[in-house]
Amino acid sequence: MNKRNLILYIAILTATVIAPFLFPDFRTQLATLWLMIIVALTWDMTGGQMGYNSLGNIFFYGTGMYVAAVIAIGLVYDVGAYTDAAGGQIFIFTEAQYFSGLFLGVIGAGLFCSVTAVVIGYLTFGLRGPYFAIGTLGVAIAAGELVSNWDWVGGGQGIALPVYPGDFDIGKLLFYYLFAGVGVVLFIFLKWLYSTRFGEAINAIRDDEEKAEAMGLHTLRYKLTTWAMAAFFVGMVGAISAFQLIHFEPLETAYQTINLGIFMVVCVLLGGKGTLWGPVVGAILFHVFKEVTWNYLLGWQWVALGALIVVTVVYFQDGIMGWLMHRRPEWFGIRVEEKDTAGA
Amino acid sequence: MNAIIEVRDVSKSYGGVAANTGISLSVDEGGITGLIGPNGSGKTTLFNSIVGYHPIDSGSIKFESKEISKLPVQAIARRGLLRTFQQTRIYGKMNCVQNMLISLPHRKMSFFDAFSRHGQQDYERTDGLLDFVGLYEKRFLRAGSLSFGQQKLLEFAMALMNEPTALLLDEPTAGINPTLINGLIDRLKRANTEFGITLFVIEHNMRVIMNLAEKIYCLAHGQLLAEGTPEQIQNDQRVIDAYLGVH
Ligand SMILES: Nc1ncnc2c1ncn2[C@@H]1O[C@H](COP(=O)(O)OP(=O)(O)OP(=O)(O)O)[C@@H](O)[C@H]1O
Ligand SMILES: [Mg+2]
């Protein structure tokens, strides 16, 4: 890493740490910004880097929420009795119970989602192009319906988690740092992953999977591993969201296919598929756009959002990073190099 | 000489089209074998059958004396039997160097090796082979931006990077500038002698194949029509008729 990049990364890290103190009124929005960055980066692992456009990643978000809830509640009480009580009985969580539930819930959600990604991937990775997109979307929709009919986890009413046992503002800070922490770890992880032979392999699958097979690559293994890694992070942030929101519903919140499920794709398209920075830049722009339109264009916010999607897809297909790469190929190392200048 | 690839009585049809019927042939280890035949005679179909691209209807295919006709493409490739595509397939959005690096042999690679980076020797081999096919200057360009002929050369270099035991080339000189063809013939021969790779080559250019191969098979209408040395094939009346469209 050269000096300029090092300074840039230190500046970003510092901004990340102090942001909730600079903008104390926007702690929840900043936490949501990190959520968007995480779901965009993980979507790009399969969509941008591997060429498999999933519309079902929201499945891992929703499943992460439920797994976390079941773990956090199940550690202390009977889950069925808890969801049955409807306010009649009072359930109390001590501070220790809350934090062990939070910790185990987040980790457990990540692991559970990784395993389900392998199972679902095994069934859906035979599908290509639009069929894969629709197949995975079907999984997310079906899961939402199934869970909303499953009384043990609260059915259509959803489920409520224990409330943060301390000061409300400190709680907001905690959730901000949880999201930001996962985001920073994810970014570093991907920066490393994309520099390894693994990164090359999934790029090869994106460019021509049949060629990759003909060259002897373990294509299915790479695909399953990639999705399992993505699902791990999405499951974790689903779990964190569950604790942050306290109460959530299956269709509107957990398996929200048309909101977050589509937003993550828009973020990546806006920023540029298949690049490390594209999803980050796209998520920031998208989040700002969404907050502004939701606050100032009330009633028209969905129209504005639709217009943004159309403009991106029609005029900006390669996103901001793609446009930059086109304009300044030398920044990305695309150049003709004569033999005698090499190694100089 | 030992046969490294043995095809026995292989048939393959697509719906009603019998693309290959009862084909038997063998490819000698360490040599260069040619496969010719008019358009649509079933040459590419036979290659696809050998590398496991599709299941065959009947027959047997052996590589290094082991039956491979039931194995999937990847498993056959990892045994060291590789093919290039008539239509040329490279990884378009990756640059030439990346195309080469991802072509390193995967049979030697464990799952955890995937999480390592390339060593200096991998880059040196890449540079050497790109130089060998004349693409060194273009190595940081996206492979998809190369011309068809250059992509053909890149695909050949990628195959060499994979260190195969045997390599099936589907029309390696198609789309290559005629003035460069002699150079390519020379490189194919060097791949055979210097790297010790057995070659099995489909070729439409008669001058090329007569120059290159020690033994040639000719297909027509999905069946084996003739086999022999370049001289025998050149003078075989059935081959001449097949190419002139006389039946
Ligand atoms: N995937 C496929 N589906 C249906 N028919 C096919 C398919 N592939 C090949 N064929 C048919 O099988 C026959 C043999 O085709 P093949 O591609 O093997 O010929 P070829 O000898 O390689 O021809 P060329 O010299 O033009 O490349 C042709 O009649 C072709 O139409
Ligand atoms: Mg052919």
In this structure, what token pair is assigned to residue A296? 């100032």
B37: closest CA among B49, B23, B55? Answer: B23
CA-nearest residue of chain A to B89? Answer: A211
Of B105, B111, B137, the CB nearest to A221: B111
Sort out which chain B residues have CB atoms less than 8 A from A193's CB and list them: 115
Buried b (16+ CB within 10 A) or exposed e, A91-100: eebeeebbeb
Residues in chain A: 344
In this structure, what token pair is assigned to residue A78? 């009977």
Judge whether B93 is closer than 8 Å to chain A, CB to CB: yes
pTM of the model: 0.91
> Taking 80 as the threshold, does the pLDDT of residue A1 lie above it?
no
Between residues A308 and B159, the one the model is more confident about: B159
Q: How far apart are CA A242 and CA A234, in angstroms?
A: 12
A137: closest CA among A18, A274, A30, A43? Answer: A43
The pLDDT value given to residue A344: 34
> Is the separation of the CB atoms in B191 and B167 below 8 Å?
yes
> Taking 70 as the threshold, does the pLDDT of residue A343 lie above it?
no
Q: Is B179 exposed, middle or buried (0-12, 13-18, 19+ CB in 10 A)?
A: exposed
Of A193, A203, A219, the CB nearest to B94: A203
Using the beta-carbon criterion (under 8 Å), do B102 and A201 form an inter-chain contact? yes
Is the dihedral angle over the CA atoms A54, A59, A61, A63 positive or is it negative?
A: negative
Using the beta-carbon criterion (under 8 Å), do A336 and B136 form an inter-chain contact? no
**Average confidence (pLDDT) over A127-150:** 93
Using the beta-carbon criterion (under 8 Å), do A221 and B118 form an inter-chain contact? no
Mean pLDDT over the full length of chain A: 90
pLDDT, tens only, B40-82: 999 999 999 999 999 999 999 999 999 999 999 999 999 999 9
The pLDDT value given to residue A56: 93
Q: HSE (CB half, 13 Å, CA atoms) of A183?
A: 27
Total Cβ atoms within 10 A of residue A337: 15
Judge whether B204 is closer than 8 Å to chain A, CB to CB: no
> Taking 70 as the threshold, does the pLDDT of residue A216 lie above it?
yes
Q: How far is CA B190 from the centre of its chain?
A: 15
Q: Is A150 exposed, middle or buried (0-12, 13-18, 19+ CB in 10 A)?
A: middle
Topology (CATH) of A3-257: ABC transporter involved in vitamin B12 uptake, BtuC (1.10.3470)
At residue B201, the 3 state secondary structure works out as strand
Place A40 in a pLDDT band, splitting at 50, 70 and 90: very high
Mean pLDDT by 10 residues, chain B (247 residues): 92 93 95 94 96 95 95 95 94 95 88 90 95 93 92 95 96 88 91 95 91 94 93 89 70
Tokens 């996206």 locate to: B142
Give strand pairing partners of B223: B220
Is the dihedral angle over the CA atoms A9, A13, A16, A19 positive or is it negative?
A: negative
The pLDDT value given to residue A328: 83
**Average confidence (pLDDT) over A226-235:** 98
Tell me if ipTM is over 0.90: yes
At residue B229, the 3 state secondary structure works out as coil
Share of chain A above pLDDT 70, in %: 97
> Taking 90 as the threshold, does the pLDDT of residue A269 lie above it?
yes
Q: How far apart are CA A285 and CA A280, in angstroms?
A: 9
Using the beta-carbon criterion (under 8 Å), do B162 and A215 form an inter-chain contact? yes
Q: How far apart are CA B195 and CA A5, in angstroms?
A: 43
> Taking 70 as the threshold, does the pLDDT of residue A243 lie above it?
yes
**Average confidence (pLDDT) over A70-92:** 81
Of B53, B106, B137, the CB nearest to A217: B106
Using the beta-carbon criterion (under 8 Å), do B136 and A221 form an inter-chain contact? no
Instruction: Report which protein residue has its CA nearest ligand 1's atom 16.
Output: B42
Judge whether A337 is closer than 8 Å to chain B, CB to CB: yes
> Taking 70 as the threshold, does the pLDDT of residue A127 lie above it?
yes
Q: Is B158 exposed, middle or buried (0-12, 13-18, 19+ CB in 10 A)?
A: buried
What is the B222 CA–ligand 1 centroid distance (Å)?
A: 9
What is the B89 CA–ligand 1 centroid distance (Å)?
A: 18
Q: How far apart are CA A335 and CA B45, in angstroms?
A: 39
The pLDDT value given to residue A283: 95
The pLDDT value given to residue A342: 44
Q: Domain segments of chain A: what residues?
A: 3-257, 258-333
Place A82 in a pLDDT band, splitting at 50, 70 and 90: confident
Judge whether B98 is closer than 8 Å to chain A, CB to CB: yes
Q: Hey, what domains does chain B have and what are their CATH numbers?
A: 3-89+164-246 (3.40.50.300)
> Phi then psi for A284, rounded to 5 degrees?
-65, -50
> Taking 60 as the threshold, does the pLDDT of residue A74 lie above it?
yes
